[in-house]
Amino acid sequence: MIDTTTALDPAVYLEVEPRTVPAPARASWPLPEPTLAYFPDVRFASDRDLGATAPGRDGVAGDAGRSDAERSDAGSSDAGRSDTVADDFGHVPVLLDRCVDLLTPALTRGAADGSGAVLVDATLGAGGHSERFLTDLPGLRVIGLDRDPSALRIARDRLAGFGSRFTAVRTRYDGIAAALDECGYAAAQSIDGVLFDLGVSSMQLDRTERGFSYAADAPLDMRMDPDLPLTAADILNTFDARDIAKILRDFGDERFAARIAAQVVRRREQQPLHRTGELVELLYEAIPAPARRTGGHPAKRTFQALRVAVNAELESLRAALPAALGALVPGGRAVVMSYQSLEDKIVKTVFAEATASRSPAGLPVELPGHEPEFIAVTRGAERADGAEIERNPRSAAVRLRAVQRVTGKGRA
């Protein structure tokens, strides 16, 4: 049986840890094939990757195959633009202006400066989105959640100037109700906006020692929260082949899941797997050569699957979204940005249920009290445009969806 559920006290306040300067991720061995962009922010030592094109949008090539020089050129042309500058905090916020456009109406219903309104940034990261809201709306209160203590430390430093208008809470985002309680708010209908910017941040990828990136040799860790009991190495070295294959198939859509799992088990009988580099080498052996040349880097799907399993990402999201929607007051809005289809599917399903009528099917009119609780604010999933993808390749994969609460008893 697979048990990837992770236990975490949902509202533990941040413990400060010493500041370390993130080292950029570099491949320490030659990467033999074009390396595409599930993790667009990794940097490559191998010039054999330079011809790669990422599965960008609208024909726009991604960044993964570009040299460091090309990347910095793109970055420098953005000087002075708040949504593009790769600042000291290591992560460029995605669709920043769009998030502001979508959430501001909900945050300024009471006062133009956001006074009295509360925004929960459920994926605080480096605090880029939060900083913009706190700056634009000088009366707004922001509660930022993250499970990664190093992200919380960076965001707390960055946002310290906003004083008591900003509170950081270390929690998985499905601990939103407990976090709100700690901050003095009810779990139901007490906040005006909530933002989810899912996945890993650029600084998590850049810290090679955390093992998120297949482009750098590092311990097979992949925990967003270093206190979690399970690492990627634990999965590979202790789960049986069937369960490993299931993880790779379900969370990475890896069609060679069974072959890879069998290879992992054979390999660990000789020597356990400890390093990302060992896993990448094994994947090159397990995946047939013709398949390695299509569909992105051969390690992409396996790394995604392990990260999702280690961090129980999908369970967490499935529990968090209904809780976050339940916390919104009438007029309040939720914006969610996903970067892979499994997450977007969950968002789409939860939002479809929230915006569905509860009247029995076939009735010509809505039964009183059975109206949908939410309306969609976006049509389908919005994506970044070519210009943003060019400036910030991480945005190539984004799918943004937003809803607004229209019924309820909370503060209107």
Ligand X SMILES: C[S@@+](CC[C@H](N)C(=O)[O-])C[C@H]1O[C@@H](n2cnc3c(N)ncnc32)[C@H](O)[C@@H]1O
Tokens of 81: 């633009």
Hey, is 308 helix, strand or coil? Answer: helix
Which CB, 129 or 292, lies closer to ligand X? 129
Using the minimum distance from each CB to ligand X, give the nearer residue, 56 or 128. 128
Beta bridge partners of 194: 120, 334
Smallest separation (angstroms) from ligand X to the CB of 178: 12
Six token digits for residue 377: 């604010």
Determine which helix (DSSP H) or strand (DSSP E) holds 195, and give its type and residue range.
strand 191-197
- Which residue, 60 or 92, has its beta carbon nearer to ligand X? 92
Least Cβ distance, residue 58 to ligand X (angstroms): 22
Provide, rounded to whole angstroms, the least separation between the CB of residue 61 and ligand X.
Answer: 22
* Nearer of residues 148 and 390 to ligand X, judged by Cβ: 148
Task: Tell me phi and psi for residue 191, to 5 degrees.
Answer: -120, 160
Q: How far is the CB of 141 from ligand X (least distance, A)?
A: 17
**Residue showing tokens 């309820």:** 408
Beta strands, E only, 316-378: 328-338, 374-376
Task: Return the closest-CA partner of residue 330 out of 362, 276, 374, 289.
Answer: 374
Under DSSP, is residue 266 helix (H, G, I), strand (E, B) or coil? helix
For ligand X, the closer of residues 101 and 285 by Cβ is 101
Minimal distance, residue 330 CB to ligand X, in Å: 26
Q: Is the dihedral of CA 251, 252, 257, 263 positive or negative?
A: negative
Whichever of 236 and 398 has its CB closer to ligand X, that residue is 398
Distance between CA atoms of 306 and 206, rounded to whole angstroms?
A: 18
Smallest distance, Å, CB 325 to ligand X?
Answer: 16
Q: Sheet harboring 118-121: ordered strands across?
A: 166-170, 141-146, 118-121, 191-197, 328-338, 399-405, 374-376
**Closer to ligand X at the Cβ: 172 or 300?**
172
The residues that touch ligand X, with contacts defined as CB under 6 A, are 91, 93, 123, 125-129, 145-148, 151, 172-173, 197, 199, 201, 224, 316
**Cβ of residue 197: shortest distance to ligand X, in angstroms?**
4
Q: Which residue has the tokens 């033999």?
A: 32
Q: How far apart are CA 159 and CA 211, in angstroms?
A: 27
DSSP 2: -
CB of 75 to ligand X, least distance (A): 16
Instruction: Report in angstroms the alpha-carbon separations of 141 from 53, 165, 331.
Output: 41, 5, 17
d(CA 313, CA 299): 19
Q: CB of residue 408 vs ligand X: minimum separation in angstroms?
A: 25
* Closest residue to ligand X, based on beta-carbon distance: 125
Nearer to ligand X, 148 or 206 (CB): 148
CB count in 10 Å sphere of residue 306: 26
3-state secondary structure 199-252: CCCHHHHHCHHHCCCCCCCCECCCCCCCCCCCCHHHHHHHCCHHHHHHHHHHHH
Count, residues in the chain: 412
Task: Closer to ligand X by CB, 2 or 314: give it.
Answer: 314
Judging by DSSP bridges, how do beta strands 191-197 and 328-338 pair with one another?
A: parallel
Q: Which is nearer to ligand X, 315 or 371 (CB)?
A: 315
Beta carbon of residue 150, minimum distance to ligand X (angstroms, whole number): 9
